Chain A
Amino acid sequence: MKVKYHTIVTGVGEMAAEFADAGILVFFGPNAPEELHEFAILTEASKLLANVEVGDIVVIGEAQFPTLCVGPIANQNVANLGHLVIKFNGMSVPELPGDISLPAVPAPPVKPGTMIEILGGGV
C-alpha cells in the first residue's frame, strides 16, 4: 500500500469533541480561518498525493479503518484546504458530498501529535 496522504495533528478545537461525539472528525490545514479552529482538528500542511478511494485505509494514530465511500467533493477539499471530513457512520453511499465514510464505530481519540494517514490499495 502506498501513502496517499500523511499529516500530523497540531491542534484540536474546543468544540471538535462535540463533532467527534457525533462520529465526525473535521480536519483543516494550517491556513484555516480562525472561526473554524474551534470546530476543527488542525493539521500540518500536506499534499494529497493521490485521490482517496473506496477501500483505502484511514490511519488515525494507532487505529486503522477501511474507507466505505468517498463524497464527490471530498478529494478537492483535502487537496485544496487540507479539509478532511471523516464520518464514522458505516455508510456506503456518501451522506454529504464532502464525506469520507468509515465504519460506524466510536471516533478514536485525536490530540496534537496524532498521525493521520490515508493508505491506498493496489500495488
Chain B
Amino acid sequence: MALFGRSKKKEDGEADGNSTVVPPPDQAERGSDPKAEPSAEVVIGTAPAGNYRKVLVKPGSRGWGKGLVIAPQPGRDLIYSVTGGGIHPVAQRIADLSGGRTFDGFKSKAKFEEIACAVIDCGGTARIGVYPMKGVMTVDVHGVSPSGPLMRFINDENFVSGTSVTDIEVVE
C-alpha cells in the first residue's frame, strides 16, 4: 500500500517505476486508509510535494543579470553546488528557503533534469557556460559577466552572478 501513500502526494507522472500503475477507482477513498501514511522510503527519493517555495536569486551589487526565480519541484529539486570546498553557503541558503536539496557536484552525480539550479564559483571561462548550455539555471557567486567560449548560451533568463546569501528571498 506504500504506493498509494506516495501516489497521493504526487502531482502526476513522476517516474518511479510504479507510475504506470493506475489505482482502480474503487480505491479512491484510500486517503482514509491508515496504512497509507507516508513511509520512510519517501525520504530517500523525491522530497514531498507541497513544501517548495519559489525564491528570487538576485545579482550582487557587483554582479550581472536581473535575477532568477528558482522553483524546485518534485523530481527537480536539487540545488547543485559545483564549487570548491563543498556545498557553498549560497547553495545552502537557496535550499533552505526553497525547500530544495543541496547536492555536491564534485562528490556525486545527478541528472540535469533533477537540477533546480546550479551554484558555481566560476571565474568566467568554463562552468559559466556549461550549465546554461545544458539548460540549467546558473548562479555564479563571483560577479562575472557572461564570457568565455560558451558565452552565447548565457543570458539573463538562465544566469545571475555576484550573488551572496543576502541576495536570496522567498517570493511565493
Contacts and interface: CB of A to CB of B under 8 A. Distances in A.
B109 A98 contact: no
Interface in A85-102: 85, 87, 95-99
Given A18-B149, A24-B125, A26-B126, A79 B84 contact: yes
Q: Is the interface of B mostly helix, strand, loop or mixed?
A: loop
Interface stretch (A3-11, A28-36, A49-57, A113-121): A28-36
Nearest to A72: B123
Contacts of B130: 35-36, 39
Nearest to B145: A96
A96 B114 CA distance: 30
Interface of B: 82-85, 105-107, 109, 112, 121-127, 130-131, 134, 142, 144, 147-150
Given A22-B149, A33-B105, A98-B123, 17 more contacts: A24-B125, A31-B107, A39-B126, A74-B123, A76-B84, A77-B123, A80-B84, A80-B85, A81-B84, A85-B123, A85-B125, A87-B125, A96-B123, A96-B148, A97-B144, A98-B124, A98-B125
